[in-house]
Chain A
C-alpha cells in the first residue's frame, strides 16, 4: 500500500521549481489544447495539478504492483523460444498496469494519444519506476524512442507508430552489434532498397538489444554501400508485424534480469527510412542517446533511493551491542552520505531535465513558426546547458547508484551478502548503469569540452549569484573555493597542450565541476526547504570539498613524464 510519490516529498519539491511555469507555457503552447482535448489543462495551475495526479497514479502502481513483483521477476526472468521473447509473469503484469493507467507515450502530443507531459514529470515517473524495479524501467522507459520518432519521422510515420506507442506498444533501439559497441561508426547491419518490395530490407545481426522483441524498433543500419564510417548510416523503423527479425538468444546477465537483452537476426526484414539517409548516427542516434542518458540518470537516482530506503530501515531495525545500529556514528556517516549523494544527483537530474524541457519545447515550436530572436537565444542557451549537463547527470547518477548500493550492503553486514535481502539485487541492478548508454569514461569524453570551454564554470558563477539563506554562507564560500580550484587545474591542463594528460585527468576535472554544481543545487534546495535538504547540503558540501581536494592534489602534482607509468605492456 505504498505510494512512491507520496512517501518521497523530495519529488514534489523538484516538481515545484519556478522554471516549470516557463516549461509548461512552452509545452502547452499557452494552453491551446484546452478546447480540442477533454483532458488538456486550462492553465498553469491546472497542468501542475494534472502532473501531481498522474504521478500519484505512477507512485501507487510502483508501490503496489511493480515493487512487489521485482523479486519474482528477478528470479523468473524472460524466456526465448522459437525466436520470440516471453516476459517474466510479473513483468507482464507490470506492463499491463502501466498500459491500463495510460502511462505510455507520456511526453507525446495529445493528437497521437499522448499526455503531452514535459520531460520533468516524465523523468520523475522514471525515477519512481526505477526505485520499484530498475529492470522494468528499461522496458517502460524505452517509450523514449518515441521522442526520436516524433522529432525526425514524417507525419505519416508519426500517425501510424506514435498512436500505437501511446496505446501501449513497446519500443527498442537497435544500435549495438558484436563489433560496434561504444564505437557505433562500425555498424555493419546492411540496409538495401528493394525496388520489388518498395521498401528497405535489413540483413545482419544486432547484439545486446534491450527489449529486442519489441513491437516497434528504431534500427541503425548501413544504407550506403562501400562506406565505413558514421556518414554511411541511416535510421530505420522496423515494425514487428512485418516479420523478418528473430531473437537468437537472450543474455544471462548479472542484473536487471527482468529486461530481456537480445541478440537479433535480421533476414530481409522490411523497414522504412526514418528521416534522411546518412544522418542516422550523426544526428538521430545522438538525439536518441541524449534522451536515453537522462533516463539512465533517473534509473541511477531511483536505485539510490531504493538503496537508501533499504539501508535506513535495516539500520533502525538491526540491534547489536544492545542498541539499533543506526545509533553508531560509523553507520550514521554511511547513511547520511548515501542520502546526500541521492539528493545531490536528484537535484542535478531535475536541473538537467528542466534544461532539456526548455530547449526541446522551443525546438518543437520552431517547426510551427519562426522563433523570435529572444526565443532563439533562449533555445541556444538551454540546448547548450542540456548538452553539458546530460553526461554529468548520467555519470554521477550511475556512479552514486553503485556506491549507494555498495554501502547499502555494508549497512546490512553479512545478511546483505545473502540472497534474502533486496540490497543484493540493487547492487547487481546498479552495476550496468555506469556502463550502458555510454560508459562513465565516455560520459567524461562528452563532458570534458564543457570543462575546458568553461561552460560549467560560467554556470557555477551564475549559481554563486543566486541568493541563498545566510546559514549556508560558509558552504557557499567553500563552493566558491572549489570553483576557483577547478579554474586553476583546467588552466594547468589546457596550458600543457598535452592531450594524453588531459584525457587521463579528464574524469577528475569533470567530477570537480559536478561536485561544485551539485553543492550549489543543494544549498538552493535547502534554502527553499530546509527540513528536507539542510542535512544533505551540509553533508554533501563537506564530502565534495574533500573529494575535490583529492582530485586537485592528483592533478597539481602530476608531471607529464608520469604518463609513461600508466602504459601497461
Chain B
C-alpha cells in the first residue's frame, strides 16, 4: 500500500538573515545578496510527506517547483532528504506571477502529473508571506484542503487524519483523499540530507542544465544510464497552460510602489505613573489608532 504525494516547494531568497544590502536603491529585493534557499515551511511539508513514505514504503514523494533554471536545486535538495524525484516548471511565460497565476500554473502541472493522493506544501513562503498558493491550488483542483497542519496522524484507505495548529491549541480533522494540505512551521523539522542519497543524486539535472554550455555535466554518460538523474522540466505548452493566465499577464496583483520605511523616534513624551498621565497616554494611543 502506498500513496502518491506531490510536495509543492519554492526556492526563496533567505530573508531571515537580511543584511544592509538586502534591498536595491530602487526598493526591490536584491536577490544577489540573499542566498537562495528551500522555503522553510516547504521543508516541514516535505518531512510530513517522507513520514508518510516511512509508514507506507510503497509511496512516492515527488517535488513540484516553479522557477528559473536554478530552482532545480530545490528538487535535488529534496532528493538528498528522501524525495524520489521532481518536476521543474520553468518558462519565461511563468515569470512575474502573483499567487493567482502561480496556483494556476501549479494546478496545470498537477493535472499533468495526474495520479496523486496528497498535495502537500508549506503554509507560506518567506518572501511573499501570503499563505494563498496552497488554498488556491486546492480550489482550482476542486479538492478538500487542510491548512496549518502540524502532523499527518494517520491514513486509512482514502481517509486522512491531520492535527492542525489553531489559535490557542490544536484541532484534529479528517478528510478524504485526494487532498491538499498546507503545513505550519511548528511541524516536525525536516530530516537532514542523507550521505548516501547526496552521493547518489548529486548529478541529477534538468534537460536545460544538462545542455548548459557554461556548466557542462561532468559525467554526461550517467544521465543516460541512470534515469533517476533526469529531472522533469515542463514549460507552459507541456502542461497545456493558458499563457494569459500565467505569469505577469495572469496576475491581477500589481505592485504600485515599493517604499523603504525606516522607523525612527522623532519626538518623545514623558509620562509619570499618575492616573492623569496614564489616561492622557491612552487617549493619545487611541487618537493615533495604535490601539482601538
Contacts and interface: CB of A to CB of B under 8 A. Distances in A.
A49 interface: yes
Contacts of A1: 17
Interface string A96-115: 01001111001000000001
A39 interface: yes
Interface in B91-147: none
A102 B196 contact: yes
A101 B226 contact: no
Nearest to A113: B196
Interface in A128-143: none
B160 interface: no
Contacts of A100: 191-192, 194
Given A100-B192, A101-B192, A38 B226 contact: yes
A102 B195 contact: yes
A61 B199 contact: no
Contacts, number: 50
B31 interface: no
Given A61-B192, A102-B195, 11 more contacts: A1-B17, A38-B226, A39-B196, A39-B200, A42-B222, A53-B198, A53-B202, A100-B194, A101-B193, A102-B197, A106-B195
A41 B218 CA distance: 12
B219 A103 contact: no
A54 interface: yes
A57 interface: yes
B198 A54 contact: yes
Interface in A359-393: none
Nearest to A53: B198
B22 to A, nearest CB: 16
Contacts of B222: 42
A284 to B, nearest CB: 28
B199 A41 contact: yes
Interface residues of B, number: 16
B24 to A, nearest CB: 25
Interface in B184-241: 191-200, 202, 218-219, 222, 226
Interface string A411-424: 00000000000000
Given A57-B192, A101-B192, A101-B194, A50 B199 contact: yes
Interface centre among B198, B218, B222 (most CB of A within 10 A): B198
Contacts of B192: 57, 60-61, 97, 100-101
Contacts of A38: 200, 226
Nearest to A43: B219
Q: State the 3 A-B residue pairs at the shortest beta-carbon distance, nearest first.
A: A39-B199, A102-B195, A101-B192
Contacts of A46: 218-219
Contacts of B219: 42, 46
A103 B194 CA distance: 8
Interface in A50-98: 50, 53-54, 57, 60-61, 97
Interface centre among A40, A49, A60, A101 (most CB of B within 10 A): A101
Interface in A447-504: none
A101 B199 CA distance: 12
A40 B226 CA distance: 13
A106 B195 CA distance: 9
Interface centre among B196, B198, B219 (most CB of A within 10 A): B196
B53 to A, nearest CB: 13
Interface centre among A40, A57, A60, A106 (most CB of B within 10 A): A57
Contacts of A40: 199
A102 B81 CA distance: 11
Contacts of B226: 38
A101 B198 CA distance: 10
Nearest to B195: A102
Nearest to A100: B191
Given A39-B200, A42-B219, A49-B202, A57 B195 contact: yes
Contacts of A41: 199
Nearest to A101: B192
Contacts of A103: 195
A53 B200 CA distance: 12
Contact of A57 (B17, B193, B218): B193
Nearest to A54: B195
B195 A101 contact: yes
Interface centre among A40, A60, A97, A102 (most CB of B within 10 A): A102
A1 B17 CA distance: 10
B199 A53 contact: yes
A115 B195 contact: yes
Contacts of A57: 192-195, 198
Contacts of A106: 195
B191 A54 contact: no
B194 A115 contact: no
Interface string A1-29: 10000000000000000000000000000
A346 to B, nearest CB: 23
A102 B202 contact: no
Contacts of A50: 198-199, 202
Nearest to B81: A100
12 contacts: A39-B199, A42-B219, A49-B202, A50-B202, A53-B199, A57-B195, A60-B192, A101-B192, A101-B194, A102-B196, A106-B195, A115-B196
A464 B35 CA distance: 45
Contacts of B200: 38-39
A60 B37 CA distance: 15
A446 B215 CA distance: 52
A106 B197 CA distance: 14
A49 B203 CA distance: 11
Contacts of B196: 39, 102, 115
Contacts of B193: 57, 60, 101
A105 B226 CA distance: 26
B52 to A, nearest CB: 16
A250 B197 CA distance: 37
A336 B204 CA distance: 45
